Structure 1
């Protein structure tokens, strides 16, 4: 009898050895760590990490297991994973795999558990890669089916990665790992309505996925048993979230042969992944044509229909918070055309009269024949002139090399609460992580308020 999905995933996680992982995969994992922690620290001034850290501080009071990146205090592993995941997601400039932001969930898990258990750099990197591969295997095959049904990819697939990473660091047996993944399949959650409403639910979903991923592994460690058909069963994960549980083993057949972490991309700006290309295109138009706001008659944005119809993308306001503005293509494109830049501060101009007038002149057109991440922006001026710029790219455009990503993180240092020296030491520690006996030299340089 062939293995089930959870058993196949567990076999991969349990047998994964650092020495057998390709060099380029290890390097990509270190780049993910640099990017994830860096953009997280640069989200310090948003409300969300403060709220999460306050809750974690209360619930984890008295424990000294893991560090809260927000203020350097100690709490329990699960509370640290929750709060740190919220912080890594706070700026919304995290890594992306399809539509899942796996790094915001898996990285806090390996940091918290790794710190508390004194895990070596090799152990942490191996667990991190295991988490990305498990979450990525399911995300790759089923995001396009689960997202249109209203489910959020990050929390739905991220909890799978979190449980895999936790299982690896806790040294679970293969059978226990399968149970942990079974619990994760049952505990998976998250909907998209908050994006349309502009409310905060999604801000904390990734934190809960990280925390509950650890819980799944702890349950299995203590003898709790999950069904082996958690994914492909008639009432299992695949049927519930994707509406499709046919040929379930196709999503795991390339584990250890094709590494999904190599397909992880990085955002250049603090906006939704689907707004990255429109922002870049608008910034290039501003530079190329020297567009003046008072000259603009109308703006038309043509986008891939899947992206254009994602909740919140077509919103023209009124806006009350950055959760709304970072999702809105009319806001992001109009702001970019007006200022020639896109910053976190720019996303907070909810009542800017000129900007809102420009947003009102903007139209989004979903295009079925346009490839993902591509767009076409047409700006008609009051004198009748029409300016058009197309951006045709693939996901490789955002699959940045390590040095390029480090440049981005260094540019964000002024928005962090750590010194330039701390940031450079943090980068150094992460680049040589496989040689570290533990995280003792790394953690002090992540403390946002240190």
Structure 2
């Protein structure tokens, strides 16, 4: 009975698909992932892959600086202080020394709090916000691994989450999961485990232990919950617990991904291609396709913002002369950042504003830019932006839906003016994608925006010093210098 049942998956879209079920670690993706991660060294990484991992580290850490002043982070820090414990790792910016898993939790939330962090536009997830905090906490807990170990751990973790993302065909609206924390649990475990130099057996067990903890829901964005920004931190926190348990010989599940009750069936309804998880693993790197954000809000907003900014600049459109703005996107984007319309047009929380095409398009057309200043308690109540947001009409564009469904959505924006003119602009690829990369000056402006939002003032050259340490990681014997440069109170 069990053997016959295990050859079939639940019905999907009216068809029953055949799928091989792993019965041990030897034939499960966990084994392939452990071999890849544990065997990865910096000398096996091409120069462009090292540069990509370094770029992700820098971008994720400046996002953490910005997140230090975000709502909810102070509450988490105070709670961790009340818990106390061994001074194993650092809460970035504040310099608090706390147990490693607590540092990973708070730092993960800080990295994600402003929604300024990286995005994989095909996988629709953020990669660095669980991986980097877990790797840094493991680095400190290990009493200072080398920069080469940190780069290898970050690269392995980023590759894990990105491969899980592109191999998955079911969208976040249909599944109900946010893939950033869901896949981030495994990715953070891989990153921390590699930094701590787990054996392959220990890594397999760590992946099995983390499987008992994976979570991350989409309801947080619908409800504008502060826990949206905490979910990647939960992934990083659980990863530190899992790798330490594995080091002590605790056994986790073995057929973690492809077993009868493995992750692919239970969480993803078998809408994940195992071949895409394995093909070229260790030879080609999917995380090279990561995008970096020019605007601190949900990536589903970005093509609409790009189009709005272009129309405003090209045609010198004033907000007072706008009769209506129509924005066509995919169904996934419509569900994520356009509904319910009353909430998106008048966001009650910062998270609602971060996940709102009406609000962000109205802000772009009003001010001619989008920055961290648009996502504060006072900014989300600006009358001129809210008035214009009422005239933004999002909809599902049938042609865009047919061509782009699972990916970050293009946006077709049509502006009708009071004086009878009509302007149209469609943006398929958002700024920051590898096909439309941000320029160095864009990254400099982003870093300046992030450091200005810090809860604690840094020196004027802090971003420059951070970049210098990141660039030196391949030859740095003790990578804890990266933590020190982000601890201004020391």
Give the TM-score of the pair, scaled to structure 1. Answer: 0.94
The residue number in structure 2 matching 1:84 is 107
The residue number in structure 1 matching 2:181 is 155
What 5-or-longer segments of structure 2 have no aligned partner?
1-23
Q: For 2:268 and 2:332, how far apart are their aligned partners in 1?
A: 16
What 5-or-longer segments of structure 1 have no aligned partner?
none
Q: Which moved more, 1:156-165 or 1:358-367?
A: 358-367
CA displacement at 1:351 relative to structure 2: 2.8
The residue number in structure 1 matching 2:473 is 433
CA gap 1:398/1:235 in 2 versus in 1, 3 angstroms: farther
CA gap 1:81/1:158 in 2 versus in 1, 3 angstroms: same
1:38-73 per-position Cα deviation (integer Å, ceiling 9, x unaligned): 1220233211321222222222x2522111114111
CA displacement at 1:79 relative to structure 2: 0.6
CA contact 1:316–1:331 (8 Å) conserved in 2? no
The residue number in structure 1 matching 2:443 is 405
Q: For 1:91 and 1:448, how far apart are their aligned partners in 2?
A: 20
CA gap 1:313/1:257 in 2 versus in 1, 3 angstroms: farther
SS across alignment from 1:387: strand
CA gap 1:245/1:381 in 2 versus in 1, 3 angstroms: closer
Q: For 1:201 and 1:353, how far apart are their aligned partners in 2?
A: 27
**2:402 is equivalent to residue 366 of structure 1:** no
Q: For 1:7 and 1:354, how far apart are their aligned partners in 2?
A: 56
User: Which of 145, 154, 164 in structure 2 is aligned with 1:138?
Assistant: 164
Q: For 1:229 and 1:112, how far apart are their aligned partners in 2?
A: 27
The residue number in structure 1 matching 2:422 is 386
**2:217 is equivalent to residue 191 of structure 1:** yes
Q: For 1:233 and 1:25, how far apart are their aligned partners in 2?
A: 32
Q: For 2:163 and 2:265, how far apart are their aligned partners in 1?
A: 16
Q: For 1:146 and 1:351, how far apart are their aligned partners in 2?
A: 29
Spell out structure 1 runs of 4+ moving beyond 6 A.
Answer: none
CA displacement at 1:246 relative to structure 2: 7.4
The residue number in structure 1 matching 2:18 is none
CA displacement at 1:85 relative to structure 2: 0.6
User: Which of 219, 230, 233 in structure 1 is aligned with 2:259?
Assistant: 233
CA gap 1:47/1:221 in 2 versus in 1, 3 angstroms: same
1:228-280 per-position Cα deviation (integer Å, ceiling 9, x unaligned): 22211222211122111676344222211221220111111111011112112
The residue number in structure 2 matching 1:75 is 98
SS across alignment from 1:409: helix
Q: Which moved more, 1:347-356 or 1:18-27?
A: 347-356
**2:47 is equivalent to residue 31 of structure 1:** no
CA gap 1:244/1:381 in 2 versus in 1, 3 angstroms: same
Q: For 1:158 and 1:233, how far apart are their aligned partners in 2?
A: 20
CA displacement at 1:186 relative to structure 2: 3.1
Alignment of 1:142-221 (within 5 A): 142=168, 144-145=170-171, 147-221=173-247
CA gap 1:316/1:283 in 2 versus in 1, 3 angstroms: farther
1:96-141 per-position Cα deviation (integer Å, ceiling 9, x unaligned): 1222212011101111111232100001111111111112221111
CA gap 1:312/1:116 in 2 versus in 1, 3 angstroms: farther
Q: For 2:357 and 2:40, how far apart are their aligned partners in 1?
A: 41
Q: For 2:393 and 2:174, how far apart are their aligned partners in 1?
A: 22
The residue number in structure 2 matching 1:104 is 129
CA displacement at 1:29 relative to structure 2: 0.6
User: Which of 343, 347, 372 in structure 2 is aligned with 1:319?
Assistant: 347
The residue number in structure 1 matching 2:304 is 278
SS across alignment from 2:381: coil
CA displacement at 1:187 relative to structure 2: 1.7
Q: Which moved more, 1:344-353 or 1:4-13?
A: 344-353
1:386-408 per-position Cα deviation (integer Å, ceiling 9, x unaligned): 11112132742455577753453
Q: For 1:196 and 1:67, how far apart are their aligned partners in 2?
A: 32
Q: For 2:59 and 2:292, how far apart are their aligned partners in 1?
A: 8
Q: For 2:440 and 2:322, how far apart are their aligned partners in 1?
A: 39
Count of residues in Structure 1 that have an aligned counterpart in Structure 2: 449
CA gap 1:339/1:247 in 2 versus in 1, 3 angstroms: closer
CA gap 1:442/1:246 in 2 versus in 1, 3 angstroms: closer
Alignment of 1:216-295 (within 5 A): 216-244=242-270, 248-295=274-321
SS across alignment from 2:217: coil
SS across alignment from 2:479: coil
Q: For 1:277 and 1:330, how far apart are their aligned partners in 2?
A: 13
Q: For 1:107 and 1:398, how far apart are their aligned partners in 2?
A: 25
The residue number in structure 2 matching 1:337 is 365
Q: Which moved more, 1:308-317 or 1:376-385?
A: 308-317
Q: For 1:369 and 1:289, how far apart are their aligned partners in 2?
A: 26
CA displacement at 1:308 relative to structure 2: 2.0
Give the TM-score of the pair, scaled to structure 2. Answer: 0.86
CA contact 2:104–2:134 (8 Å) conserved in 1? yes
Q: Over the residues paired in the alignment, what is the CA RMSD in angstroms?
A: 2.1
